[in-house]
Amino acid sequence: QKEVEQNSGPLSVPEGAIASLNCTYSDRGSQSFFWYRQYSGKSPELIMFIYSNGDKEDGRFTAQLNKASQYVSLLIRDSQPSDSATYLCAVIVDSSYKLIFGSGTRLLVRP
Amino acid sequence: DARVTQTPRHKVTEMGQEVTMRCQPILGHNTVFWYRQTMMQGLELLAYFRNRAPLDDSGMPKDRFSAEMPDATLATLKIQPSEPRDSAVYFCASGPDSDTQYFGPGTRLTVL
């Protein structure tokens, strides 16, 4: 079992809809949780991080963390075609700064 | 606009040749990471430095890969000898003394 699991997609949503991206992790001791966005041919770009259970909002993005169920999700409201990218979930499982990445979910926002 | 820089951006080489990739972390960042990304394996951590000291290189094939930080402004990843299976995009990332990391543009390596 991989430490961080994501559905590879593609997840296809119409423009203006809410896109919901999910991620599960296996290590209950995981400390910190991150969402990176990666456009094709580009490098990963940090868009959200969350440490505590609950929701964290930043503009159109909301990260949700449920440590009891070991999942973290990213909601993108009012999806735009420019949001089309691969979204990588990443977790730090110990006191180091080592990120463990999921394989990513490809999001397609249809105009 | 501070950013991580990597050179070269693209490298094509023949099997058996030595490859050196360079990274300049963001000024003031004291953690540096090397990652490799392939379609099959995704993004994998190869090595990790803090204050120039190597803390973890367990993700790196030891017989052919080496990573160093000769000074605070330069990190290097060397492959000798290179093999076709090393073809990938290699990313460097840096961070302040926290868990946020900022990625460079990557080096796309093709080994023929």
pLDDT tens digits, one per residue of B6-63: 999 999 999 999 999 999 999 999 999 999 999 988 999 999 999 999 988 888 988 9
pLDDT of residue A106: 97
Contact A98 B103 (CB under 8 A): no
CA–CA dist B8, A63 (Å, integer): 35
Rg (C-alpha) for chain B, rounded Å, is 13
Q: What are phi and psi of B31, to 5 degrees?
A: -120, 135
pLDDT value at position A1? 60
pLDDT for the residue numbered A31: 83
pLDDT at residue B82 in the model: 96
Integer distance in angstroms from the first to the last C-alpha of chain A? 36
In this prediction, residue A45 carries a pLDDT of 95
| Mutation site, B101, B102, B107, B108, interface A, largest A CB count within 10 A | B101
* Widest Cα–Cα separation across chain B: 39
**pLDDT for position B29:** 93
Q: Which chain A residues touch B21 with a CB distance below 8 Å?
A: none
- pLDDT grade for A71, boundaries at 50, 70 and 90: very high
- Tens-place pLDDT, residues B55-100: 888 889 889 999 999 999 999 999 999 999 999 999 999 998 777 8
- Exposure letters B43-82 (e unless 16+ CB within 10 A, then b): bebbbbbbeeeeebbeebeeeebbbebeebeebebebeeb
* Backbone Cα Rg of chain A: 13
Confidence category of residue A30, pLDDT binned at 50, 70, 90: confident
Q: Where are the beta strands (DSSP E) in A39-104?
A: 45-50, 54-58, 61-66, 71-76, 85-92, 99-101
